[in-house]
Amino acid sequence: MNTIEKKKRRIHKSIEKIFKNRNSIPNFIAGETQISTGLAVYDHLEINAVIDTLLDGWFGLAEKGDEFEKALSRYLSVEHTVFVNSGSSANLLALDAVKQLKNPEKKEIITPALAFPATFNPIVQLGFKPAVVDVDNTLNISLEQLLSAVNENTAGIMFTHCMGNPAKIDEICEIAEKHDLFIIEDTCGALGSFYNDKPCGSFGTASTYSFYPAHGITTGEGGAVATNDQELDMIIRKLRDWGRDCRCKSNALDIDGECNNRFNYRIDNFYYDHRYVFSQLGYNMKPLELQAAMGIEQLKKLDAFNKQRKKNFNLYKQELSQFKDFIELPEIYEQADPVFFGLPIIINNPNIDRRDLLIFLNRKKIATRLLFAGNILKQPGYRDIECSVYGNLSVSDKIMKDCFWIGIHPGITEEMISYVINAFREYFSSQV
């Protein structure tokens, strides 16, 4: 072992000791410790992987990026995965690439009103027209309203598996196939969820993921686009990297590139370095090699993370049933095997004021969030956009008014859950 490797090993051991000492400190004091809605759970393995990439001195995507993408593809049961800088970027890239590949003359994309801007915005930004429909009691796109929205101007369907709860994706695919529509599955909050024993995100034309700290795994910031279409994969990669035509790895040591053809490309009547040929109007949505290194280690822990999320969800479901006169949880399809991103809670009693309840919980150090934008068409920035609305949006309106969510991430313990349940009990007993 050379001197550099010995020094690296000492660093690794030092980082490991830091995490062992940190984990030995009690991490929950009732009423004082914040119970967060989302938390990045990691240890020395991720930090040491990141340090190694920094010591190697290569920041742009290289071997770790390639390794992470391949590992993601295996996990998702898809052919191609492109690592990007955020889930929001993933949605924009996916739709832009589909637009270029399919060049649809039709301009409406069916999407639910209950949305996060990252899913809804690309539809407008890329010149499509949102065809807005309601959700059902699972918080997912209503199949009935989706069917009513399909018309001669429909190009595709773009939707989320809301909070990790799978939509009726098999049935959506049948509709899409019948009417020749593309599908973009926003799976940013559903990494590890299944429908009919198949991973969410492996059904549509393309699917998207987020690796923000609160999500299934984290790379700090980061995201991915997955597809089984090789041509679509190539367009996504070009769009991610400024529209660059060359697909050789940027750290290839061969002066002629991996293709051995770097200096033989022509523009007009002269040679031009293929690495500086741009065949798309692209973006810069590249993540870092150190993020890929972290993602590799996080992905190894995903099954354990998801197991804990399911355990926390089931415990909450059991305990919260005692408050059925005040609140309820979303329904789950029989074919679905969800890994919830967070725990959505719906107030079903008109005497309960959501604002008052949320203030109470937050003062108890129990963090809460609303379900993103609610009915996004009611948000100030969306009131004047051009869109079509098919049917009423009553469920989305209900969720906007009466829903919130709390954390069930792997950092949540049974002790914390017990404390939260007692807080709900205290509040609801005061309302009787």
Question: How far, in Å, CA of 196 to CA of 185, rounded?
Answer: 16
Burial class (CB in 10 A: 0-12, 13-18, 19+), 259: middle
Under a CB-based contact definition with an 8 Å cutoff, are residues 277 and 311 in contact?
A: no
The answer to whether 183 touches 203, Cβ cutoff 8 Å, is yes
Match 């993408």 to its residue by tokens. Answer: 69
CA angle 397, 400, 402 (to 5 degrees): 100
- CA separation for the pair 335, 313 (Å, rounded): 18
Gap between the Cα atoms of 243 and 27, Å rounded: 47
The residue ranges of DSSP E strands in 1-77, in sequence order, are none
- Beta bridge partner(s), residue 23: none
Report the C-alpha gap between 8 and 278 in whole angstroms: 40
Backbone angles phi, psi at 184, to 5 degrees: -115, 115
SS3 content of the chain, % helix, strand, coil (to 5): 45, 15, 40
Q: How far apart are CA 234 and CA 343, in angstroms?
A: 37
- Give the separation between CA 128 and CA 113, rounded to whole angstroms: 16
Q: Pick from 293, 235, 245: which is nearest to 56 by CA? A: 293
Residues 80, 161, 215, 409: which is the catalytic one?
215
Contact partners, residue 118, CB within 8 Å, separation at least 6:
87, 88, 91, 186, 188
Helix, strand or coil for residue 159? Answer: strand
Contact 158, 119 (CB under 8 A): yes
CA 381 to chain centre: 23
Alpha carbon 73 to its chain centroid, in Å, reads 15
The Cα 51–Cα 27 span in angstroms is 26
Give the up-direction half-sphere exposure of residue 349: CA atoms within 13 A in the CB hemisphere: 14
Q: Is there a catalytic annotation at residue 80?
A: no
**Phi and psi based region of residue 163 (left: phi greater than 0; alpha: psi -120 to 50; beta: remaining):** left
CA gap 316, 422 in Å, rounded: 12
Catalytic site positions = 215
